[in-house]
Amino acid sequence: MPPKTKVSELKFISEAEIPIKVKRKSVEWLNFFKQIPEGKALVVTEKELGVSGSAVKTMVARLKQSGQLSSSFYISQRTVGDKATLYIVNSAKKETKA
């Protein structure tokens, strides 16, 4: 059964105006990442952050995919023994398109 409202009475907006679903955790991470200066890397352990490296990588990927975080951010991880060190990088290198 079709809606009783006429299409001419409905409100339309552009796709770009649709609000991005942002969870509180995402906003907190976004603010955290944006404090890393361009061309610098934050060096932290999983213990210092209180979360796993994979959780940080996932959050960076989600924020980049949603367009809230620039593509210059990436995570590198090195493990020596049982100590995992994360490098959260805000690269100054510009991506070149082939």
Q: What is residue 95's predicted lDDT score, i.e. its pLDDT?
A: 60
Give the HSE-up count for residue 46: Cα atoms under 13 Å, Cβ half-sphere: 15
Residue ranges covered by each domain of the chain: 23-90
Helix (H, G, I), strand (E, B) or coil at 76: strand
Q: What is residue 20's predicted lDDT score, i.e. its pLDDT?
A: 63
Q: What is residue 3's predicted lDDT score, i.e. its pLDDT?
A: 67
Q: What is residue 13's predicted lDDT score, i.e. its pLDDT?
A: 78
> Mean pLDDT for each 10-residue chunk of the chain (98 residues)?
72 76 76 93 90 91 92 92 90 67
